[in-house]
Amino acid sequence: MNDATGALLQDVWLVPMDGPDAAPLGDVRRGDLRVRDGRIVALGALVPEPGERVIAGRGRHALPGFVQGHVHATQTLFRGLADDLPLLDWLRTRIWPLEHAHDAASTRVSAELTFAELLAGGTTTAQTMESVRHAEVVAEEAQRSGMTVITGNCLMDEADPHLPPGMATSAAEALAITDELRRAFHGHGRISIAVSPRFVLSVSEGLARDAAAFAQQHDLRVHTHAAEHPAELAAVRARFHRDYVQVLHGQGLLGARTALAHCVHTSEAERDLLAATRSSVLHCPSTNLKLGSGIAPLADYRRRGIAVGIGADGAPCNNRLSMLTELRQAALLQALDAGPGQWPAAAALAAATRGGAAALGLTDVGQLAPGKRADVVLFDLQDPRLGVIDAQRPASALVYAASERHVDAVMLGGEFVVEGGRVLGSDWHELRRAAAAALPGVLRRAGLAR
Ligand SMILES: [Zn+2]
């Protein structure tokens, strides 16, 4: 559809996500959406122009594609292989050995599966953190998917007795890999590269400072984990004698280009620091539950004006990559943590779209508006299991009741990539076969053969 005449998506419920914070969905109305050269040029009651391709929207709800702030594509192959463990054991006994055992081919299978699964669930933009090696394979697959993807190799140089031998690199090598990725992919198509220290405990003080300087020098985003699990916090305090977010600040890693996954346990001082530095938070509710980490104080972050995005995190700690699952979990947890109504369904939907875009510093996704990229999800909400919905108020159905089966179609830049719930150009049967072929070698190399 990237032609001069473009296309007109007719007769949809437009959910622009451009309203004020108290009513973020904006003016939900039945109308049409015009696309030219991959971008939205108009919304409303539109008349087809000569030569324009007309697409029947059939009364679907059209939302901006979801933005997932925190995903590990490299881990998707490891779904179901690391259940029922707390964070540090989960990392040490399963995830690090498995990541280190990846080769380029198994990483590619994991990445292909990730992007197909994300698209099938309506996610059109993602920030991913990859392993120490083979991140270029993920960047290639991200490029092939057509999604908007921020990605990077995780930085790990700290000698840790729990790491598989040879997994950590030198500080220089870690950033040299990031620099190679930057030269090969950053700004090419829809891909950008983020400087991605894994977490405080796996990065030396010197590398952390060099990473901050490198990000500053090349105007790259910073993506890391922070303040996730009580045992991790205790280890950080024991080593640094300061709170987690304060350590990151001291290393120069906070700022308007920085997004921190989790931030489950933060003090008043740390929250002040997040707000003052305009760092953003990436909330991963299913992971926080599954690893027994806790409940992130989103309603409080929202009151403080801290940008919050949502992500599924890794398949081995979720075990889905579904934004709809995370939306439901996030809203339910805030009802428990802050009280019903303090972070309502509409706020969750905002975090899944424009809020996620803001948290990642992306200005051309997350809303349906002229000039934005035509990344659109079409939901079929005509299902009695969703209730008798008021079409102008779809937040409740989407956040609390809908599932992937209600994703009818997805467009990237105005091109359909999912139709009738099917990911075009991907074959689940083939992906399953490739995953089943790749996994035994990884398990063997990891010393975890079943
Ligand atoms: Zn993570």
Q: Which residues pair with 43 in a beta bridge?
A: 33
Distance 71 CA to ligand 1 centre (A): 6
120 Cα distance to chain centroid: 14
What span, in angstroms and rounded, lies between the C-alpha atoms of 59 and 62? Answer: 9
CB 314 within 8 A of CB 305: no
Radius of gyration of the chain (CA): 21
What span, in angstroms and rounded, lies between the C-alpha atoms of 227 and 243? Answer: 9
pLDDT score of 163? 92
Helices (H), 338-427: 345-352, 354-359, 395-396
Composition of the chain by helix, strand, coil, percent to 5: 40, 20, 40
Distance 313 CA to ligand 1 centre (A): 5
What is the residue-wise DSSP string for 38-56? TEEEEEES--PPTT-EEEE
Distance 4 CA to ligand 1 centre (A): 41
Distance 73 CA to ligand 1 centre (A): 10
What is the pairing mode between strands 415-419 and 422-423? antiparallel
pLDDT score of 236? 96
Distance 223 CA to ligand 1 centre (A): 10
CB 389 within 8 A of CB 396: yes
Distance 7 CA to ligand 1 centre (A): 38
Q: In 3D, which of 68, 75, 122 has the Cα closest to residue 285?
A: 68
Distance 284 CA to ligand 1 centre (A): 8
Over the chain (450 residues), what is each successive 10-residue block's mean pLDDT?
73 98 97 97 96 95 98 98 93 96 98 98 98 98 98 93 94 98 97 98 97 98 97 95 97 98 98 98 98 96 96 97 98 97 96 98 98 98 96 98 97 96 95 98 94
Distance 128 CA to ligand 1 centre (A): 9
Distance 232 CA to ligand 1 centre (A): 14
Distance 244 CA to ligand 1 centre (A): 16
CB atoms within 10 A of CB 245: 27
pLDDT score of 219? 98
Domains, the chain, in order of start with CATH, read 7-64+370-419 (2.30.40.10), 66-359 (3.20.20.140)
pLDDT score of 1? 42
CB 227 within 8 A of CB 266: yes
pLDDT score of 4? 52
Distance between the two ends of the chain, CA-based, in angstroms? 47
Cβ density class 37-59: b for 16+ within 10 Å, e for less: ebbbeebeebeeeeebeebebee
Distance 72 CA to ligand 1 centre (A): 6
* The two three-digit tokens of residue 36, written as one number: 């030219």
The pLDDT tens digits for 296-315 are 999 999 999 999 999 999 99
pLDDT score of 450? 81
The pLDDT tens digits for 329-379 are 999 999 999 999 999 999 999 999 999 999 999 999 999 999 999 999 999
What span, in angstroms and rounded, lies between the C-alpha atoms of 273 and 7? Answer: 46
Distance 153 CA to ligand 1 centre (A): 13
* The two three-digit tokens of residue 409, written as one number: 């179609």
Distance 261 CA to ligand 1 centre (A): 7
